[in-house]
Each structure stands twice: as structure tokens, then as C-alpha cells.
Structure 1
């Protein structure tokens, strides 16, 4: 049977279809940790939660919210460690990934809230990491098992990709170095004022509670072959591989074949289940067990994200 997130509606739990109904449920004796481990993703639908009541729900679901420090995608901070979802053009698909799986530490939980539903499309696909691992060809899986090496080139304010100031939410170099010193990363400040960060990370990991092996890396998102052809061609015209905003290789530095990352990307998306959004919906996911992405959309989609 195909895995899909568990939906919780007011009628399912005998609650009022309101923010207070949801808050009462979350304050009850329900063991949300256990429920999330078993379900892997929970969708709260029909509670009509307005954005001004979001903080109270977040304080119960994610009491220790993390800042998006060392995050690699463009977002806007809109509250106390609450951000917009990745601000890529709406016509593009965002492929499946576990949030910050390239980092030394990653969030264990992710929270999504739909403030404004898109006119069309815009679902958040979610994929069971064990299923994603299983659908890959044996030889592809084997090549990734030793791990991957990510490299970021972060500019000093002008350039492609993100600046180091935006990435680390500071303009103090000493603070950046203090943070990186705790992450088993290698880094160097570049002559033009930018920063290059290299990290050796796992490609497959074990869930800390269930022990399940899951696909857990973002190699396809960091590989130029997975960009849309027009963007990839334009970047290759002006940047060498070493200058790209982000690149990835196998752990030993050898190149990852384009066919490998395309298979990873396409099979992850094909295995995923779409969560369509209605204003006021929420979703909580186990960030190790489940990957997520975004389908193209039209209209003024506004989905907020928090993590812990």
C-alpha cells in the first residue's frame, strides 16, 4: 500500500473547526511525537487557522524553533524563526529533499502553513525516504553509499546564489567562522570577499527512532545537470565548475554522473504524494523520514515554514 500523510480534520477528533479547536487538541494528552514517528507526516485540515493565530500553534508544535542559518535557498523571515517557503519562480518544480540534509545538523521537524492558497497547482509533494531509497537502481544506490561532498561559493553581496551574510544571518566574519568550526566543514575566504564552504556528508542515513534506512542528501539539487537546461547553459557560459554557487561530487571528489542525479530527482518526484493546499491548512513532517518539494503553481501562493 502506498504511504501517504495522515490527515486530521475537526470531525475526526471531535474538535471545533477553529484555531481554538486545534489548540485544544494539541494541548490534550495526545502523544504527538509518537504519532509523528508512526505517520511520518501529519496534515491538519479544516481548522481555518488565520495567520495571526499561527504563533500559538507553533509554540505547541515547535517550541524551540530554529533560525535558517546555513540554509541554501532564498527565503524571507516573517516572524520568530518563521520563513516564507523557498522563493523560486512559480513555474519551476522544486525537487524532493530533506531540509538541510547537506548540513552538519538538520531540523528533525518541519512545519508548513498555508496563508494563501495558489490559484492552481502549488502542492507540496512529500516522499517516504525508505520508498525513495528503494526505487533507485542498485548501482546508483551503491555509488552514493560512501557519501557526498558539497561545495558552496557564497558571494559578498553581489553575485550568483546567496551571499554569506544572508546564509549565516550575520555580517560578522568571526561569527561565521565560530559557527563553521562546529560543523566539520572546511572553508576559505576568497580574494573578492566571498566564502567557499566544503562539507562531506552522508547520502543515506538511519532514522534515529525507527532505525529505517532512508535516502538523505540533496545531491540532485546541488548538481548543475538537475537545473533547467536554459539556466544550466547560461551559468556554464560565465562560470567554471569551481565558481558555481553550489556543486556536489561523490565523497572522494569524483564527479557524479548526470544520469545518476536525474534518476534520483525524477524517481523521488514520481514516488511522492501531493499535499494540496487550502488556506488555513498546516502540515508537520518528520524531516528524516520524509522528503518534500513543490509543484509549479499560478496565483499568489503564500506558504510559511518553520523548523526545530
Structure 2
């Protein structure tokens, strides 16, 4: 039975709440007590700062306080453009599609502890960033589904050498040096092989749930639904099946033992994540920071130009 829980929402902070001016400098002054900001984020899981009139030129000092070791988007599978010091566009997936809930890089051996999203330009309509509490997402799933994922999942990426479906290995690892890629992969526990066509296949076994390092809460923490053909819809999945066998898709996923994950399971995971999500609507200048373990995120469809930048930290 689908249990939708909507009692949790991100915590909004405005200048009147901080006692500081409605300026980027005012927000930076409020965040100067980094221990307080860290504790508040752990308690609230997601913070939304509104009314401080942030711009791309004034964003840096605020990000330096919230994300004290900004990370590159290495091993990321989403199409993005790097626009600054480890600052990227949010996913460039077509505007008409919903992006389902996920925790950033949950398929990797390591992942960012928090993400920041900055709205440089709000869309004309739609374009909210939905966020979901991982404990609620996990609780909403049928026991049969939770049990089936108990041993974890195996992710596989087929990364081309510059031409093909999906991302190239060069874009994925932000290098053209195979030795750098291999050095990175050796530290992840992944299996990999270079293909005769110059592409790279990477396979990694990961858990389906993790416990938050501070609170100890168990959360749903995998991207099985996004990596599974069933999440693409019947027509798209059927078209891809005509082009490539499943194990040659740009990315695919199985249970830990290599057995297929039923379509119905991943559709339930996808839909219940979205059902339990809370939409954060954007206004130009808004900033949101989320605990990437406690909270999953996605994107609603939109019209008109939309530019949301993202950065992350360990």
C-alpha cells in the first residue's frame, strides 16, 4: 500500500529570521557560525535561503561557508556544464521531463555529504526541485520490495570514447588520461575494462540503503530506478532494446547477484519517491542546501529558460 507522508518540509530562512541585511553579505554573516549551520542542516535536512539577493558574482563566499571543500563532479552520469570553481549547471535533461528522486552519486563508492542549489534564473512555469526525506521514502515501499533489495545492487556503465549514447569516459571522469581514470577506479572497489572500441565498462556493487553518519537513520540510497530501462517508459525502453542488448546500454542495474530487477519494483520506487516529495519552487536568487544522505532530490518539468547551478562537498 502506498503511504504518502507530507509532514516534513525544508526549513526556510529569510533575512527577518537572521537579523542580518537582505544582502549576500548579510547571509554570509549569518553563516559565519559554521557549527550552527552544520547542526541546523543535520536537524532540518534541507535549508532554503530566500530574499538575500544572491547573484553568480556574490555566490562564492556563501558557498565557501556551506561547502568547505567543493568537489568536482567526477564519475557523475548526468549531463552538466562546468561554469566555475567546481560549480556546475544542474542537469541539462530536457525541460519537458520529470527527473525522479535520487541522492547524488549514490551509485559511487563515495558521494558528497551535501549539495547546494542556486537559482540564477527562475523558469516561467514549473521547474521546482522536489526533495524527499530518505526515511519516509524507505518506509513507503512495500516490504517485498525492501527485502528484495536487501543485498544491494550492481551498477554498470558503458562509457563511449567520444561518440555514442550517453556520456563518454572523458566527460565522466573530467580527463583524457586513461591512467588517471584507472587510478580513480582502483580506489572505488569497481571492476572495469577498456573495450576494443576505446570505451570503458565500469561495474560497482553498492548497498540499497545506508545509515546517516550522524543520526543513524536508515535511508533509501540508490539509483536503481534511474538506471533501469523501465524508468524510461515503455516506448523508449522498447526502442533502446531494438538498438542494444541490456548489458550494452549506457547504464543499467541488476540485483547484487546479477539477477534482473522486476520492472514493477523500480516503478514503485520511482513513483513513491515522487509521491512523498515536497516541491521547492524557485525565485531568482534563492539558495538551497541539502544533506545528500538524508534527502533525495529531482526536478519537475518547466517552461521558459531555467538556470540552476549546483555545487557539492565531501
Sort the TM-score into its range (normalised by shorter chain). Answer: over 0.9
In the alignment, is residue 270 of structure 1 matched against residue 239 of structure 2? Answer: no
Shift >2 Å, 4+ stretches: 228-231
Superposition CA RMSD, Å: 0.9
> Which residue of the other structure, out of 21, 26, 31, is the alignment partner of 1:16?
21
> Which residue of the other structure, out of 180, 183, 186, is the alignment partner of 1:178?
183
> Which residue of the other structure, out of 140, 143, 149, is the alignment partner of 2:148?
143
Between 1:213-222 and 1:224-233, the stretch displaced more is 224-233
Shift of 1:30: 5.9
- Counterparts of 2:169 and 2:264 in 1: how far apart (Å)? 31
1:71-220 equivalences under 5 Å are 71-220=76-225
- Counterparts of 1:218 and 1:150 in 2: how far apart (Å)? 9
> Which residue of the other structure, out of 227, 234, 237, is the alignment partner of 1:232?
237
What do residues 173-194 of structure 1 show as CA deviations (whole Å, max 9, x unaligned)? 1110000000000000001000
SS of aligned partner of 1:31: helix
- Counterparts of 1:131 and 1:32 in 2: how far apart (Å)? 24
Mark the runs of 5 or more structure 1 residues left unpaired by the alignment: none
Q: Could you tell me whether the CA contact under 8 Å between 2:34 and 2:65 is conserved in 1?
A: no
- Counterparts of 2:212 and 2:31 in 1: how far apart (Å)? 25
The residue aligned with 1:307 is 312
Q: Could you tell me whether the CA contact under 8 Å between 2:34 and 2:66 is conserved in 1?
A: no
The residue aligned with 2:302 is 297
SS of aligned partner of 1:248: strand
What do residues 120-140 of structure 1 show as CA deviations (whole Å, max 9, x unaligned)? 000000000000000000000
SS of aligned partner of 1:52: coil
TM-score scaled to structure 2, two decimals?
A: 0.97
TM-score scaled to structure 1, two decimals?
A: 0.98
Shift of 1:228: 3.2
The residue aligned with 2:71 is 66
Shift of 1:146: 0.7
Aligned length: 308
- Counterparts of 1:275 and 1:253 in 2: how far apart (Å)? 37
